Amino acid sequence: MGIQLVHVPPVLVDRDRKRQTHPEKSDSLDALGVAKVMLASSDTLPVYTVSENSKNAKILKELSHDRDFLVSERTRLKNQVHILLHRIYNTEYRTYFKDPFSLKALRHWSKVRPQCDEHVLRTLKRKVRRLLDIRTEIQELEKDMEAVMEKRGYTLDTASGCGTVLAASIIGEIGDIDRFKSPAALAKYAGCAPRSHSSGKTERYRKTRSGNRLLNRSLHRMALSQISRSGNDAAKRYFEKKISEGKSKSQALVCLRRHMVNVVYMMLKHNVEYRQPA
């Protein structure tokens, strides 16, 4: 309808509510809190828009969250199947397959009929069938991620240590890259920027726990992949340089993660493929 909308961060409404004598919460009080923040900070609130990039990012975010939920469910089921297999075969089941949850192994567990309690066997087969279904669903979600990224022309998955799943997670949490005016703004949103804690002539910086933790986790995984055995030499040199400057390995990894924010920002902003430095 041509009406300009603004985004009111919930933290501003919550901050104003906590200052009240009676900080009750309800739908009507939430609306009143939003209105008060808009009246007091109308010039500083960001304008809310729905761009094509934000729509695509939302699709990838939903696919990533669905996949994360299935992975968590798969982990729980694997733990339960471990217990059931141990009850049936003791520790011998570990010698049957290198990976007791490979496709071949799961198909074997779904058909085998050992001499054991019938209830235990039915429970095992039911959970194994669910594991097979989850395996198929995860593969379908990953194909959907790949199709969306290819159709929309995203290039983030060309970066070393950043596959389709990780790239989709990062894009989904960032949304429209035009929301951020610089890599520093993106780093602060992701919780990768150190927080100043200085006093007088002493300058200190502390690790922050704020920001988007899902995005922070994805960037952390990307940084770990950069210095892995299959990573790239430029990242390893940067990591070793920070260690030589007196930083611990965990601190050097934080620096590398902050450096990855610059890479991700430029790749999304200019839609270019990753080129490994010489």
Q: What is the pLDDT of residues 103-112, one digit of tens each?
A: 999 999 999 8
Helix (H) or strand (E) holding 206: strand 205-206
Domain count, the chain: 2
Q: How many Å apart are CA 192 and CA 56, to the nearest integer?
A: 24
pLDDT at 197 over 90: no
- Judge whether residue 195 has pLDDT over 90: no
Residue 11 within a domain = no
User: How confident is the model at residue 209, as a pLDDT?
Assistant: 77
Adjacent-strand bridge partners of 206: 195
Is residue 227 located within the same domain as residue 248?
A: yes
**Residue 263 pLDDT greater than 90, yes or no:** yes
Domain shared by 105 and 131, yes or no: yes
Q: Tell me how far apart the alpha carbons of residues 86 and 110 are, in angstroms, rounded to a whole number.
A: 16
Task: Tell me whether residue 243 is in a domain.
Answer: yes
Q: Give the tens place of pLDDT for each residue, 114-166.
A: 888 899 999 999 999 999 999 999 999 999 999 999 999 999 999 888 899 99
Contacts of 278 (CB under 8 A, 6+ apart): 234
107, two tokens: 């198909």
Is the pLDDT confidence value at 278 over 70? no
* Domain boundary residue, one of 91, 123, 153: 153
SS (H, E, C) 71-113: HHHHHHHHHHHHHHHHHHHCCHHHHCCCCCCCHHHHHHHHHCC
Q: Return the half-sphere exposure (C-beta side, CA atoms, 13 A cut-off) of residue 215.
A: 25
Whether residue 140 sits in one domain with residue 83: yes
- End of a domain among 123, 153, 183? 153
- Give the residue numbers spanning the domain of 218: 158-195+207-270
Q: Model-level pTM greater than 0.75?
A: yes
Res 34 pLDDT > 80: yes
Question: Per-residue pLDDT tens for 63-96?
Answer: 999 999 999 999 999 999 999 999 999 888 888 9
Letter for the amino acid at 165? V
42-63 pLDDT tens trace: 788 888 878 888 899 999 999 9
Contact 165, 64 (CB under 8 A): yes
Classify strands 5-6 and 47-48 as parallel, antiparallel or unpaired.
antiparallel
Please report the pLDDT score of residue 70 as a whole number.
97
264 occurs within a structural domain: yes
Q: What CA–CA distance (Å, rounded) separates 188 from 206?
A: 13
Judge if 141 and 118 occupy the same domain: yes
- Each residue of 201-239: pLDDT tens digit? 777 777 777 889 999 999 999 999 989 888 888 899 999
CA distances from 91 to 8, 75, 82, 99 (A): 57, 20, 10, 14
